[in-house]
Homo-oligomer: A and B are copies of this chain.
Amino acid sequence: MSIVLGANQYGKAEVRLVRVVRAGGRHDLRDLNVSVTLAGDLAATHLTGDNTVVLPTDSQKNTVYAFARAHGVDGIEEFGLRLARHFVASQPAIDTATVHIEEYGWQRLGPHSFQRAGGEVRTATVTCTDGRTEVEAGLTGLVLLNSTDSEFHGYVKDPYTTLPETNDRILATAVDARWHYRGDNLDWEDSYGAARAGLVDAFVGTYSLSLQQTLYAMGHRVLTDRPEITEVRLSLPNKHHLLVDLTPFGLDNPNEVFVATDRPYGLIEGTVRRADDGTVDPADGGRH
């Protein structure tokens, strides 16, 4: 019963890159956090410390900066594709390169002045393996709230259930979404903008009987609007806003005064996808 090395990978995480494009007096800005992960035939360094095929993570970092200068950063999907292909093509021992990029938004204040846009982060994950590339896009930290048009009732009452049913509550979440593209040569900006708009519109427009229903509506909208997207994965914390009981103080509370709580929180996670996608996921066999 021998002991062996299983799946493994390595890389440089969180390379912070700010790329300025200076078109005369008017500048543009891309602000990225790039993480590179490489996998392949890396047994020797694990078993004996033989680093013959190990490209240092420091070199990976340097590559990110050099490519930003040499090729520019037109978009995070394009930049990720260029980097991932480079590592697989140039390193014989590496069969899979994954480049994950977070982009922080900035709003323009002037020709060369900007304001950081806040908590929302755009993401892309590019995987290059065996000559194939996969592109996934997404976002995190998009906090949305509907102050009405949300109900929750008709659920299981077990011996531990004390939650009152409600036909009017606040529904709030911090959207964490990832979607998968068919192909690697798309108009990424256009697709991203439309997918994001679809998520927001569906959240706003869905009269919700459960956060699961809202989740499904969000994924369904993106797939309906964008044929190039094959699957949407959503992770939605239910950011509870609890109605405060003001009766001890002789006051009513007609859904006006709430406590925003930190922990615990509900966490709703789900995938919405095309049925004929081909990439059958055995894990979700009976659930759709």
Contact = CB atoms under 8 A, between A and B. Distances in A.
Contacts of A162: 58-59, 62, 248
A40 B14 CA distance: 36
A210 interface: yes
Interface string A142-172: 1111111101111110111111000000100
A267 interface: yes
A51 B155 contact: yes
A2 interface: yes
Contacts of A200: 109, 115
B120 A49 contact: no
A90 B19 contact: no
Given A1-B276, A213-B48, A258-B20, A281 B144 contact: no
Question: Chain copies in the assembly?
Answer: 4
Interface residues of A, number: 147
A256 B12 contact: no
A186 interface: no
A246 B160 CA distance: 10
A11 B267 CA distance: 5
A3 B220 contact: yes
Given A200-B115, A257-B17, A161 B62 contact: yes
A155 B52 CA distance: 5
A139 to B, nearest CB: 12
A275 B41 CA distance: 18
A163 B256 contact: no
Contacts of A50: 154, 209
A56 B60 CA distance: 32
24 contacts: A1-B275, A1-B276, A3-B223, A3-B273, A4-B274, A4-B288, A5-B287, A6-B271, A7-B281, A8-B270, A10-B269, A16-B259, A20-B255, A22-B254, A40-B287, A41-B287, A51-B156, A56-B161, A57-B264, A57-B266, A59-B160, A66-B246, A115-B144, A115-B145
Interface of A: 1-22, 27, 29, 31, 35, 37, 39-43, 45-63, 65-66, 68-70, 90-91, 95, 106, 109-110, 112-120, 142-149, 151-156, 158-163, 170, 200, 203-204, 208-210, 212-213, 215-216, 219-220, 223-224, 231, 233, 237-238, 241, 244, 246, 248-249, 251-276, 281, 283-284, 286-288
